[in-house]
Amino acid sequence: MIERHLMKLRARDDISAEEERVIRGLVSHMVTVPADRTFVRAGEELKESTLLLDGWMARAKDLPTGERQIAEIHVAGDFMDLHGFTLKRLDHDVVSISQSTLAIVPHERVKDLTERYPHLVRMYWFMTNIDAAIQRESTVSLGRRDALSRMAQLFCELLVRLETVGLASDNRYAFPLTQAEVAECLGLTPVHVNRTLQELRRMNLIEVRDWHVDILDLERLTDVAQFDPAYLYLEKRER
């Protein structure tokens, strides 16, 4: 069940058979979470972290007014809250976008890994650094890109991330986000999201239909987004 996570790691470095056994041994059990649920609440004491096996989830923060900002989308293969191992609580919620299957990893097992497997420690440190890079790119979008570029950037990034774990092909992938959730990702209103989607369709760049995205002209969409996947660190090298 953790094959997509292993694919994500092996896209960046080699993982030995013993290290794979250790990674599989981190999991104590699995749970299924319905769509639109808060799985981890900000401030809760944490004794375990969660690996997303299937589905889409997100990190999100709520304002007192009830508005929500999605800070990062998570797809299958992501270790969503490994940083909770050292923080012991999160400053944000972890929420489900679609029905999702999670692997639960007790922190005591993570602690054992950190003491015995230095290469895996470096790998997981590296993966949390990639999460930070993704959030920095999101900050650039929110602060400097216009609505069209923000949305194009999101579609391009998701394509690369999903291709890495075998969940996108021929520039097509599942896309379970509602327009309201896209608005929460991009700092736009749902009305503005709808208009921007229509503009991307009018430009014959994408088609969003039946909960899937088809990228019709990746080269032009990349130009609109000014997308450079370097921040996803997909080159394979020893860590």
Q: Which amino acid, one-letter code, is at 160?
A: V
Nearest to 107 by CA among 89, 119, 130: 89
Q: Which helix (H) or strand (E) holds 101?
A: strand 100-106
**Neighbouring C-alpha atoms within 13 Å toward the C-beta of 118:** 1
For domain 143-232, which architecture applies? Orthogonal Bundle (1.10)
Residues contacting 222, CB < 8 A, separation 6+: 152, 156
**Chain segment 115-170, per-residue pLDDT in tens:** 999 999 999 999 999 999 999 999 999 999 999 999 999 999 999 999 999 999 99
Of the pLDDT bands very low, low, confident and very high (cuts 50, 70, 90), residue 1 is confident
Residues contacting 183, CB < 8 A, separation 6+: 189, 190, 192, 193
Q: What CATH number labels 3-136?
A: 2.60.120.10
Q: Where are the domains of the chain?
A: 3-136, 143-232
**Chain segment 36-83, per-residue pLDDT in tens:** 999 999 999 999 999 999 999 999 999 999 899 999 999 999 999 999
The answer to whether residues 68 and 113 touch, using CB atoms and an 8 Å cutoff, is no
The pTM of the full predicted model, rounded to 2 decimals, is 0.96
**Neighbouring C-alpha atoms within 13 Å toward the C-beta of 169:** 2
